[in-house]
Amino acid sequence: MLDIVKHVLLVFSVVFPITCIAQEKLSFEDCLELAFQNNLEIKDAEYSEKIAAISHQSKKVALLPTINGNLGNNFSYGRGIDPYTNSFIDTKFKSYSGNIKSSVILFDGFANINSIKLAKHELDINKSTIHKIKNDITIDLASIYVTIIYLHEVIKANQQQIETSGKLLEMLSLKFNHGYIPESEVFKMRSQISNEELTLIENQNLLSVKYLELKQLLNLPIEDEIKIASIELLDLEINTGENHTEIINRSISISPLFEIAKLREEQYKTELSISRASLWPKLEMGMYFGSAYSNSNVFYDFNQQIGNNKNYGINFSLSFPLFNGLETRYKIKESKLAYEQSLIKTEIEKNNLSKIVQQAINDANTSLLKLRSAEKAYEYAFKSFEADNLKFELGKININEFSITKNNYINAQAELIKAKHEHFYNAKLIDFYMNNSFSIK
């Protein structure tokens, strides 16, 4: 039995109803996929990403020239100006005109270029935000998932304890009936069984709560049935390495939170460049083509007038920012301070992530030590329980002495189960921080 406890094996599977007849088992990865598909925060963030992508594309096409067309007509019934001769006439006439104009910005202090960069930063931030939400969901799901597996094993141990206590109660009742022991020892065993049953009920209730949390995380209906088969857990070794700095730096480098902070830096830096662009002159080129027709000219038909009246050209305009109430200067100062503040926020985020990863490393190493200690404590408690159990059956010790040994064994067993699952979770958490992947197999 001790060898079985020391070499415990864990395989995760989840059961939930797909139809009224059949059920499909879900692994941790299946649950994770369901959570990603159903999570409303992810869906909201994905819409934000699509909007940012459209905004980025619109900034790109803003570099293209603008082309506008214009058509006009005029009905004159009194004294007016003949559009063909530009002289006053009192004749009733109609005239038509049209033109096409195009303009393109040749230089604006790179404001448009930087606007494209700014939109690209916003798009990347939205992508990293989705990544961050998925990471949060992964950690939450792993915590609930491992806890459910832990509770299944604890409940199984509770049931075995009650079964063992029941057999002892039968033996004590038999001894009492033959007058070998007082009835008080029977009552003490009944009391112990009641306490063990209470512990079982509490753990079963906690398991129901965790299943409810799992359904909520997967965004599944409450009435759906989800079950995770609890099998034995292998003893895992944690290799956090001797160089904690290397682990921390790698974890930070792939963290979406740190990535968002760095993108915010670039975003504020680009905004500073856009603010400075207002100090530069703006060069714009325009082109136009137009013509006109009037029925007051009886000597030329429509095609001839269009050909004779066509006008076209190209123009350049250069505007200089001279004074705008120092608004541009203050905007530059504001953008510069925002950029410098973003550098500080990045360092704060880096420090926070360092603390989180370092704490995870400490927890992982501590959980390994606790597991080794729990294994030894269980081994000795189990041997003591077997020895005292034999003494109790032979009547060499009373129920009080045996109860102390049995309780020590129960506590040691509970601590071992807890230490195994804490160790497993902490080991996987380190892998997650280093690889952005949480695999439970």
Q: Tell me, what CATH number does 218's domain have?
A: 1.20.1600.10
- H or E element in which residue 317 lies: strand 311-319
Asked if residue 178 belongs to a domain, the reply is: yes
pLDDT surpassing 80 at residue 267:
yes
Q: Encode pLDDT of 148-179 as tens digits.
A: 999 999 999 999 999 988 988 888 898 888 88
Asked if residue 101 belongs to a domain, the reply is: no
Asked if residue 342 belongs to a domain, the reply is: yes
What pLDDT does residue 83 have?
64
Q: Encode pLDDT of 333-345 as tens digits.
A: 999 999 999 999 9
What pLDDT does residue 403 have?
87
pLDDT surpassing 50 at residue 299:
yes
Q: What is the mean pLDDT of the chain?
A: 86
Average pLDDT (20-39) is: 75
pLDDT surpassing 60 at residue 436:
yes
Range of the domain at 256: 29-39+108-225+238-280+322-435
Q: Encode pLDDT of 64-122 as tens digits.
A: 999 999 998 877 776 666 666 667 776 677 788 899 999 999 999 999 999 999 999 99
Q: Encode pLDDT of 363-380 as tens digits.
A: 999 999 999 999 999 999
Asked if residue 395 belongs to a domain, the reply is: yes
How many structural domains comprise the chain?
1
Task: Measure CA 298 to chain center.
Answer: 76
- Alpha-carbon torsion angle 238, 239, 245, 250, nearest 10: -90
Burial class (CB in 10 A: 0-12, 13-18, 19+), 278: middle
Percent of the chain with pLDDT over 70: 88
Q: Round to whole Å and give the CA distance between 373 and 419.
A: 9
Whether 282 contacts 129, CB under 8 Å: no
Asked if residue 407 belongs to a domain, the reply is: yes
Asked if residue 207 belongs to a domain, the reply is: yes
Asked if residue 413 belongs to a domain, the reply is: yes
What pLDDT does residue 330 have?
93
pTM surpassing 0.75?
yes
What pLDDT does residue 398 have?
85
pLDDT surpassing 70 at residue 6:
no
pLDDT surpassing 50 at residue 7:
no
Asked if residue 68 belongs to a domain, the reply is: no
